[in-house]
Amino acid sequence: MNIGQMHISVQQGVDKINSMHSDLILPEEIDLELNKNIQRFTAQKFSFKSNRHQEGFEMSQKRIDDLRTLIVEDSISCFYKGEVFKNVYADTRTLPDNYMHLINVKSLVSLQKCNKFCYDIDSTAYRTSTKLVIDLAHCTPAAFPGFQCFITPQYGSGAPIPITLPTSNMVTSAALLVAWLSTPYNWLSGVTITVTGNNEITITLPVSLSNYLGYYHVFDSGTGPASCNNAFSRQPGVYGEKRVPCDDVETSTLVGQNKFAQHDDIFTLLSDPFNNTTYKYPLYTIRDNSIDVYSDETFVIDRVKITYLRMPAIVNNVDTTIVSCDLPDHTHHEIVQMTVNSILEGISDPRYQSTNMEVLKSE
């Protein structure tokens, strides 16, 4: 069910129950209610307190299937934050722009057979993710049989690097272009897309692509550049220092399962020999948009891999940024019904109490 069909279903649902008020509902108001209920649906399925069984979302196959398109894995290098106190160090990584809820954290750690880890500081080749913002108002795609995004060298010659999968459909309008760009499956692994309500799409490139310094980004149809070339603006990532093993030492690598620590407990735990951070279970904390991982003198955090629930797409059916719901198709009817009910409640229909009823019906 695309966003247009969802609009029609919401309108029909309200028409059936309360025709007196339904003709006063604007398309923008339907979008607002749909987005509100997509957020409510997502939170309800994720939180164990929001369903009658009081179970987490992975305790039910129904809830797993409801949220599966929002579950994302992301692995990037850590940057050296500094020495907390003697022989205790902190490394940090940023959370993705589309991050909503954390599910799991693991670290790729390097160690030197229980010896004191010998490391150097490398500050020349690492940066955080690069963001690209596409102003869709400047895009007028022609009737190309294929459409793809590339990274192309800014100076000199070089082979373009594709960051999307080619489409076999005819991208002949701004609406089709937006639909294609806003579909996560059309992008290579590690690239995330966020659609905003002001005709913009933000593309976040992984660090592996962000390290191509001096590159800019264009659209290409396979037969020549399309007319979106000048629609990009770039927000380069920032550089950071990284701890790397000394050249003359042998290291081994393994995966550690991170353990969360509260901020008011972390320094006590790091000073406790029985609860300190270890290479098997590195301690971590969360602040602002970063995860801080702590290590001792025997190991170094190389990368942090998180599994998280991303934010659902903001649906829009009233301007050139046409974006459909990116939750699984089988959830759309449930979201439409929740939207109809919340609209009825909003126009003072006494027959429905949305919050209590949705919790009681939740599986």
SS (H, E, C) 17-30: HCHHHHCCCCHHHH
pLDDT of 347: 72
pLDDT of 156: 45
CA distances in angstroms from 46 to 57, 116, 127, 230, listed in the order given: 5, 42, 33, 40
* Mean pLDDT, range 268-273, rounded to an integer: 91
Which one has a higher pLDDT value, 82 or 106?
106
* C-beta of residue 258 within 8 angstroms of C-beta of residue 282: yes
DSSP state of 48: G
Instruction: Name the amino acid, one letter, at 31.
Output: D
Best CATH choice for the domain 130-235 from the list 3.30.930, 1.10.490, 2.60.40, 1.20.1250: 2.60.40
Work out the number of other CB atoms within 10 angstroms of the CB of residue 112: 18
pLDDT band at 58 (very low <50, low <70, confident <90, very high): confident
pLDDT of 155: 46
pLDDT of 270: 92
pLDDT at 221 over 60: no
Which one has a higher pLDDT value, 9 or 172?
9
pLDDT in tens, 131-180: 777 776 666 655 445 566 666 554 445 566 667 776 655 566 666 777 77
Q: What percent of the chain has pLDDT over 90?
A: 21
pLDDT in tens, 191-219: 777 776 666 777 777 666 655 545 555 55
The domain locations on the chain are: 3-68+326-361, 130-235
pLDDT of 55: 74
Instruction: Name the amino acid, one letter, at 263.
Output: H
* Among 264, 320, 256, CA closest to 282: 256
